[in-house]
Every structure is written in structure tokens, then in C-alpha cells.
Chains A and B, each alone.
Chain A
Amino acid sequence: MTEPYLSATDMHGGYGKADILNGCTLTVDKGQIAVIVGPNGAGKSTAMKAVFGMLNLREGRVTLGGEDITALTPQERVRKGMGFVPQTHNIFPTMTVEENLEMGAFIREDDFRDTMAQVYELFPAVADKRKQNAGELSGGQRQQVAVGRALMTKPSLLMLDEPTAGVSPIVMDELFDRIIEVARTGISILMVEQNARQALEIADIGYVLVQGANRYTDSGQALLADPEVRRTFLGG
């Protein structure tokens, strides 16, 4: 078996003295969707930050496309093809939608108008508001801007931390559809989701994280079918 595209193995670390992550392992294959679910405070966001290099890992290793990136800064990881949409504060509120996308492409030296057009194509709702300040948009549209911003570097791995937080069910379905669409273009996706059921539906691989460690790891369908997982994490 070939090595997965992203592989973060046995991560230990936290913000201060106490570890939040206690041996968490996440992998995503090329073009696949990996979903992390788990109770509040389990360390899902922390795991995402660790994968993205925003946290000093005490132990563990992160590789991307076979290359060890454990020591790289977040900015360097962006250049290696990672895109990250944080859970909160993921847009520039007093800048227009278009400027948000431009900032997403800040490190690109080449012409990024094509990418921008693709993002607008993917999210037609925000395309209409490109001259409007991102902070004035609805919750769902803001999330679209946030995802669009991360796509501007043409990442090969897109990391989303609760992209559907605080949006209506209709918008949520719409967002999931878009995410699947993104994955179809060959981009690997690692995402954290509160709406575990729907997320696992579309997941190629799912992780149930509890207290900073993997409790269950399996394909999305298998997790959905597991009575134990259903009872404890999916509410029956």
C-alpha cells in the first residue's frame, strides 16, 4: 500500500503545559474526504492546528506527499499546497469579498484571475457580492468566502474546521455539495464537523476523536453503521 497523501501520526502536544493531543493520528488519501467528529473540547480544532503547524508538537510527525513537514511554519505549509479554513475569524471582515480572495492568493506571483473565476463559479452567491465587505454577509456566505479564500492558493489539501457552524440546514447541504465538488477535482479534504451524521455520509474516512486521541477510525459508512458509535456519538 502506498503512503497516504497527508499523514499526521501520533501527535502529542498542547497550548501550555498540559497536552491536549494524546496520540492523535490522521491520514487522508489523494482526492478523499476525511472527517473528524467528536464531542466539544475533544481537541478537534487543536488537531487541525497541529497538522497545519500552528502548534508545537511534542511528539509526532506530519508528512505531505511523502515529504516530512513537521518543522515547517504554517506559511511554508501553504506554499507546499495546504489550505486552512479556521473555525472562527476566517475572513477579513472589513475587506470586500474580492479582496479576501486576493489576500488568499497573496503568496502567488502568477496571474490568479482564473482561480478567482473558478471560486466564483463554485460559489455563485458570493460572486454577486464581490464588491461588498465580507463582514456584512450572511453566515453561510461568509463560510463560502472563507473556503474560497483558502482555495485561492490552489491547494492540494484543504482543511476545514467546522465549515457549517451556524448556518441553516439548507445552506449546510449546499456547502457539503460544494465540498464534494472540490474533492472531485482531486483536492484532498480534511474537515471537522459538528453535524457528524451528514459529514460521515460523504466521508471516505472518519475519525472519532475523544480527549485528544482516536477512539474510532473507519470508513464513513462503517462508522455510521457501528452501533457503538451511533449510540455514543450520533445520538442513537
Chain B
Amino acid sequence: MSHTRQAEAHGAWRAPVLFLVLALLFLAEGTFRNALFSGSWNTALGILNMGLISAIMALGVNMQWGYAGLFNAGVVGFLALGGLAPVLVSTPPVQGAWAAGGPRVILALAVGLGTLVLAAQVWKRVPGRPRVLALIAVLVLGFVLYRFLFDPAVAAIEANNSASAGNIGGLGWPVLLSWPVGALMAAAAAWGVGKVALGLRSDYLAIATLGIGEIIVAVMRNEEWLSRGVKNMSGIPRPVPYEVDLQADPGFVARAAEWGLSPGLASGIWVKLLYAGLFTAVLLALILLAELALKSPWGRMMRAIRDNETAAGAMGKNVTRRHLQIFVIGSAVIGLAGAMMVTLDGLLSPNSFNPLRYTFLIWVMVIVGGSGNNWGAVLGAILIWFLWIKAEVWGPELMRLITLPLPEGAFRSHMLGSAPHMRFIALGLVLLLVLRFAPRGLVPEK
């Protein structure tokens, strides 16, 4: 491409300077109270924490897009799947749920999975005419058996204390353990989709992932036995202390007083700082691993494939298999981020999984940051997240300024009321402008 000059001109200072600007933005958010900033450290840290999680999502997307050129349009699904892990792993068990139908549900799911495996084997092994018939027979029988096992078990679980539970419940294990589990769950789903859609035209993966994303979210919305569906799952355990406990701890209150902070404020900030530390540690570990992988022969081959798929294929590299690897790994990272996000929120709310917010916004982060560059993805993620949140405040402010000359009336109030929607337009514009005029992003790939 012809954009190398642009990268050289700005050189090595680019990334540190941009990160500094980002830090200043957060500093301003925490200290100044005016029309633009809230002046609250609680708010600033809240934005930062979600920004860090977005950065991990962006890392996952960047692996798929930046390293391999794969378009995953179902980020929201892998994220949601990862978010299921804290519920299943770390929430306390539900009294009577397992007895009501636990083993039977597991058996049903095993039958369902077994049916698919068997169907695949039948398709591979059985020759000639009977093939299709055998396939259909396996699928129909498997489906009937699955429903026979599944339906009553689910009804029983959902009937169990349906007002406050009605779900299968968790294992009660530490929540941190659920993070890798979330990654694994997302990876498994990615393997299935990738197996089918990779190796075909590049847009097919986009369409197939768009589909799997919607389906995963639909499952989480409707399968109440799993995670209470749209009734939401709250009270997910934390890896850090609760604010109320800190406020009740005389030692903490005393130390807060030393800093001149009220216990309420101090506890909020302390908890967020702990989260920020935890997330940063995960993020740095991931970046380290990703950078090491990129510099390994495996990573070099990955990039060789991306830059010239035909040539790499001609050289006998199994392009589809490499793509599957990177797709699964990237999705695992997204799943990890999902588990972390649900842990941070302490809440799993399937209705909030909106593709615009969780798929395409992440994409904008990666493109703006600089696809192919991990630090770029992180920068883009935190920056875009900051702007996305602040646009909620800045949009109406801006609209008020714009509409100042207009007379009071229906049109002006309509314009003011619709200011929040401007976010979408702004985001689309940012994506298009970056794609066109700085396709290598803020921090280009080296």
C-alpha cells in the first residue's frame, strides 16, 4: 500500500503522545467540573474500566482482522457467550435446580451434540444413495430424542422457585475462574462457525458470524433455565471487596480520612482502582502474549498469509487452518472480555447485548486505533469508548449551541431530543473517514 510515508513521518513518538493525550482526557474528566467534564473520579474510573475491557475486545477483533483479515460481524455473540461463564461458574448453586433436571439437561445437550457429530460422520463415511437418507434419519431421531429429554427437564428447572431463581444455578467457584471458562466457551462457538464459513469468500464469514451472534443473544434471552433470560441475572460475585464492606471497615475509613475523602467516595474509587489494576494486568498479559506470538514464525506466517493469500496458499500453507486458529483465538479473547464485563457489572442482562454497541463499535475502535497493531487497538478502544460515553453529554450540548438561533418550538425540541442519535452518525462518519483517509489508523502497524 501507499501509506508507508505517513507512518514514517510521524515515527515512534506517535503512540506515546497519543496515550498521553488519552491520559490527559481522563485527568480532565476526573478533575474539572464544567459543561464538558464531570469532575468526578468515580465517573472517570468507571469509563476507564469499561475502556480497558473494550480494549481487550478490540485486541480480540484486531487478532482476527489485523492479523488475518477476517471480518467477525458477531462479536456481540462471542462476548455474550463469555458473559455466561461467570453466571454458570461463580454464582451460588440454586437449591433444588440440579435435582429438578440438571443431569437430564446435560444428557439432552450431549445427545444434541452427539447427533451433530454422528451426522457429520454419517456424511463422511456412508457412501452413495443411502447417505442423505441416513443423514436425515440421524438428524430427525436425534432431534426428537433431544426434545424428549430437554423439554421436561427445562420445565422442571424453570418451575423451581421461578420468582427468584428458575435457573440451573452456578457452581459457586471463584469468579476469576470463570474468565478463562468464558474464553473457552467463545472459542468453542468460534470453532464451529469457522469450520463452516472459513475458506469461502471473505464476506461469508461476516454473514455467518452475524447470524451466530444474533442466535447466541437470542438463546441467552430466551433460555431462562440457563441464566434467567431477560429476567437478568444479578448478584454475580466479585473478585474485589464490596463498597459497603469497606465503609464498615474502620481501618479503611481511617485511611480515607487521611486522604480527606468521605468513606462513600473512597470506597467507590478504591473498588474501581482494584478493577482497573486487575483489567490492566490481564490486558498487558494479553498484549505480551500477542506480541510474542506475532514475532514467532507462526505470527510471521500469519501476516504473510494476510498480505498475500494466494501466494501463501501456493507455497503450500494451509490458509484455512491458520485462519481457523486465529479466528478461535480472537474469539476466545472476546469471550474473556465478556466474562470480565459481566463480572464488572455484577449483572448479566441479555437485552443489553446490542450489535451496534458491541460488534460494530468495537470494529470502529480497531479501525481507528490501527488494525494490525495491538497498542493501536488498545488506544482506539479506550479513546472511542471515552468519546462514546462523553458524546452522550456533548451531543445535546452541541445541539443546544447549534439550535440557539432557532425559535422555541416543536422543531427545536425535536432536534434537542434526537441529539443522542447523533452518536451513531458520528461513529459512522469516524469509521468512514478513518477507513478512507487513514486506513492504517492512529497507530499504524510497524
- Tell me, yes or no, whether A and B come into direct contact in the complex with CB atoms closer than 8 A: no
